[in-house]
């Protein structure tokens, strides 16, 4: 799903050498990190908060649990999980991009979230954690930026505890044609202009729009999760399928 052949992969609509994609994605997020939260609110009209709230509800975390917030960015999910798991639990926020982690660390510490959160710079394809380690893993709006998605899903399954749950929150394919047309118009005409105004970086938001279109649709991602060894995989569409929350378990 992630590669054209053994050497090439997609970076938006471009075909690039697979080994170079991580650096190209890193450049995008280095560029937008400082204003990432502002852009999320503006470009989703604040709806991303509802998508993430639903993810927290489905996660059903409890005090004492160990949670990995992968591609955690600026820490929106980590902040919620930290309060839920309490002092007897722990949350790891992991991201391949150090600029995003720095913004997240500053934001969470400013909110007084310190004791049960740790920060790890990590590649989702080869997570630096022991087998059977986390009760819950979430990856929100990050999987589409991973070079080898299949390897990443296998890596996530490996570090889940038996009975553990993986939640993948990601942009997907709208169900209805009218919504698809409106969404395309917004993504390719409006979004880059917002990026130019707010972050002075239209190119990064053009890539983000393209990366959404290149990401597997709901059924394809469901099968990828099954192929990675996850069980009882299902998904919920939100906002007509603009976003989907996939859920799978390790048994």
- The CATH code of the domain that includes 50 is 3.40.50.150
Binding residues: 74, 95, 123-124
Residue 132 lies in a domain: yes
Residue 200 lies in a domain: no
The 3-state secondary structure of 99-131, one letter per residue:
HHHHHHHHHHHHCCCCCCEEEEECCHHHCCCCC
For residue 1, pLDDT over 50 is answered with no
Residue 188 lies in a domain: no
As a whole number, mean pLDDT of residues 69-73 equals 93
Binding residues for S-adenosyl-L-methionine: 74, 95, 123-124
Q: Among 105, 42, 45, which residue's Cα sits nearest to residue 78?
A: 105
Number of domains in the chain: 1
Residue 247 near residue 234, CB atoms below 8 Å = yes
Q: pLDDT tens across 217-251, in order?
A: 999 999 999 999 999 999 999 999 999 999 999 99
Residue 157 near residue 228, CB atoms below 8 Å = yes
Residue 32 lies in a domain: yes
Residue range of the domain that includes 164: 8-175+206-249
**pTM of the predicted model, to two decimals?**
0.83
For residue 3, pLDDT over 50 is answered with no
Q: pLDDT tens across 44-68, in order?
A: 767 888 999 999 999 999 999 999 9
């Amino acid at each position: 799903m992630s590669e054209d052949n053994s050497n090439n992969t997609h970076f938006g609509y471009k075909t690039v050498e697979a080994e170079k994609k991580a650096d190209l994605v890193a450049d995008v997020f280095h560029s937008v990190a400082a204003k990432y939260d502002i852009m999320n609110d503006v470009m989703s009209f604040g709806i991303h908060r509802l998508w993430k709230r639903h993810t927290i509800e489905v996660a059903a975390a409890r005090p004492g649990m160990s949670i990995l917030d992968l591609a955690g960015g600026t820490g929106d999910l980590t902040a919620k999980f930290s309060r839920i798991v309490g002092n007897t639990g722990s949350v790891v926020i992991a991201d391949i991009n150090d600029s995003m982690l720095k913004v997240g660390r500053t934001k969470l510490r400013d909110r007084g979230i310190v004791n049960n959160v740790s920060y790890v710079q990590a590649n989702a394809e080869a997570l630096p954690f022991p087998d059977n380690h986390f009760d819950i893993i979430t990856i929100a709006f990050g999987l589409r930026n991973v070079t080898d998605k299949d390897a990443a899903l296998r890596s996530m399954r490996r570090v889940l505890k038996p009975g553990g749950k993986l939640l993948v929150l990601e942009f997907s394919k709208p169900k209805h044609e009218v919504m698809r047309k409106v969404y395309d118009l917004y993504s390719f005409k409006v979004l880059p202009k917002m990026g130019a105004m707010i972050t002075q970086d239209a190119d990064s938001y053009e890539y983000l729009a393209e990366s959404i279109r290149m990401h597997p649709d709901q059924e394809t991602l469901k099968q990828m999760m099954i192929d990675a060894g996850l069980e009882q995989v299902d998904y919920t569409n939100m906002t007509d399928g603009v976003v989907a929350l996939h859920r799978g378990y390790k048994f």
